Amino acid sequence: MSFISLLWVLLLGSLLGLELIGKVPPTLHTPLMSGANAISGITMLAALTLIVKAEGNIPLLIIGSVSLGFALFNVVGGFFVTDRMLAMFSRKPSNKK
């Protein structure tokens, strides 16, 4: 990919992000922040790339692996904790009946 097309990708991605969240009820601020936070752990893909392309370079493999660990800590923890929060909301109405 050329740099210019990557810049386009960046621009369009940013615009999409700005549009996605319009009105958020305060109830959801914390879960939304936590969910978006989990998505920012997408750097795990960069860490994976690093490991695959390390070609036996041990320090690079280690850095990549640690980086992958941090990213997955963010991703897995983030989604689980968001789910835990949201489970509390969705459980209520069904309990009432």
Partner 1 sequence: MNLPVIIKFVIDLLAVLLLALGIKGLSKVKSARDANRLAAFAMLLSVVGLLSYYLGTSGIASQSWIWIIIGSIIGSLFGAILAKKVPMTSMPETVALFNGCGGMSSLLVALGVAIFPISGGQQNFDFFKSLINEVSISVSIFVGAITFTGSIVAMAKLQGWLSTPGWTQSKVRHFVNIVFAVASLVAFFDLINGNTSSIWLLVIVSSLLGIGVTLPIGGADMPVVISLLNSYSGIAAAAAGFVVDSQLLIVAGAMVGAAGLILTQVMCKGMNRSLVSVLFGGSLSAQSTASSGSGEYTNITSCSVEECALTLEAANKVIIVPGYGLAVAQAQHTLREVTKKLEQNGIEVVYAIHPVAGRMPGHMNVLLAEADVPYEQLKEMDVVNPDFPATDVVLVLGANDVVNPQAKNDSSSPLYGMPVLDVQEARTVFVIKRGMSAGYSGIKNDLFDLPNTSMVFGDAKKVLNDLIGELKDLGVGEK
- Asked if 94 interacts with partner 1 (CB under 8 A), we say no
Q: What residues from 28 to 57 belong to the interface with partner 1 (CB under 8 A)?
A: 28-57
Q: What is the distance of C-alpha 41 from the center of its chain?
A: 4
Q: What residues from 4 to 23 belong to the interface with partner 1 (CB under 8 A)?
A: 6, 9-18, 20-23
Closest CA to 60 of 74, 46, 71, 72: 46
Distance of closest approach, residue 91 Cβ to partner 1, in angstroms: 8
Distance of closest approach, residue 8 Cβ to partner 1, in angstroms: 10
CA distances from 61 to 48, 49, 71 (A): 10, 10, 15
